[in-house]
Amino acid sequence: MRYFSRRLAHGLFVLAGVSVLSFVLMALAPGDFLNEMKLDPRMPPETVAALRDRYGLDRPLPLKYLHWLQSVRHGELGYSFAYNSPVASLLWPRAQNTLLLTVPATTIAWLIAVPIGAWSASQRGRWGDRVCAAVTTALLVVPELLLALALLLFAVRTGYFPIGGMTSVRFAELGNFEKFRDLVVHLVLPASALILLMLPVLVRHVRASLIDVLATPFIQAARARGVPHRRLLFRDALRAAANPLLSLLGLSIAGLLSTSLVVEALMSWPGLGPLLLEAIAARDLHVVIGAVMCSTLLLLAGNLLADALLYVTDPRIRTDQG
């Protein structure tokens, strides 16, 4: 328990540091939410001054931060100037939509990457490995924007998939099965973009980890004893290569928000990505900080999951912490 207690304490320290740094950086950024309103000749200066006082924009930075901490204690995460509502009520539905997109995409990407990476490692130097390396390299050099636009173009030309949004206009009138089908159909295009973005990195890491393991003496000895190739590759070698792959799993969870940002914005998926971009453009301070904190929580959750899996699978960690 000391191991996880230290990890949890470290996570809380990181959250506090990120919140302070976010406030400082937002304070240093030029302008605020009411800048455009001040340029409107129809808006009286007294109204702008009253709004600045209402939202506390003229308070010193330490007071702004303390006021935000009080709202966090009440579960509000601050107040959105643009939406005129607590930030938590905006973030949680959007976070659920982002997780609905990214969790299946990440799971499918791992399910594809592990066997492909293992097979590529076993074919090192042969034509199969070279083809796999060429495909992953091609996917790595394609920008996220171009990949998402190519998938949108495919959807427009073929008509197989909807080109935006999360549900159809008549979603509320559909039955349960039709609602599920409609959601899946809308999910295919953005999830495919995320899978293609994550897949080359995962395949290359799996391949590199297994190549190192396949060259170890115990694998060579097992191969000499006649252990079947598939069993040797997918049981013994993968188990030995678990540590770096579990760490990579934690990082892939940590990057869910940043990975999906462009895809959500281009494909009109109502997740955290579009909300964050709109909040940055509007200088909506608390929404930006709330989205940053959500990203930090994903980072910490990914690291904690990786630590927990490493603790279970690697007896050396349990021995060191004992």
User: pLDDT of the chain along its 322 residues, tens only?
Assistant: 676 677 778 778 888 888 888 888 877 776 666 666 666 666 677 777 777 777 666 777 788 888 888 888 888 888 887 787 888 888 888 888 888 888 888 889 889 988 888 888 888 878 888 888 888 888 888 888 888 888 888 888 887 888 777 887 777 777 788 888 888 888 888 898 889 888 888 888 888 888 877 777 777 777 777 767 677 777 767 777 777 777 777 777 767 777 788 888 888 888 888 888 888 877 788 888 888 888 888 778 877 777 777 777 666 665 655 5
CB-based contact 269:288 (threshold 8 Å) = no
CA distances from 86 to 77, 80, 202 (A): 7, 6, 38
Closest CA to 288 of 96, 12, 68, 37: 68
Q: Is the overall model pTM greater than 0.85, yes or no?
A: no
* Contact (CB, 8 A) for 205 and 276: no
Residue type, 137: T
| C-alpha to C-alpha distance for 311 and 278, rounded to whole angstroms | 40
- Whether the CB-CB separation of 212 and 237 falls below 8 Å is answered with no
DSSP-derived 3-state class of residue 159: coil
Beta-carbon-side half-sphere exposure of residue 34 (alpha carbons within 13 Å): 17
Contacts of 273 (CB under 8 A, 6+ apart): 98, 257, 260, 261, 262, 263, 264, 265
The four Cα atoms 118, 123, 126, 131 give a dihedral, to 10 degrees, of -20
Residues of the chain with CATH 1.10.3720.10: 97-321
**What's the rounded Cα separation, in Å, for the pair 198 and 75?**
33
State both tokens at 59.
Answer: 């308070």
**CATH 1.10.3720.10 fits domain 97-321:** yes
Q: CB under 8 Å to 79, separation ≥6 — which residues?
A: 55, 71, 85, 86, 87, 286
Tokens 């173009």 correspond to what residue?
A: 153
Using CA atoms, how far residue 318 sits from 11, 241, 312, 315, in Å, is: 20, 18, 8, 5
Structure-block tokens of residue 149: 């636009």
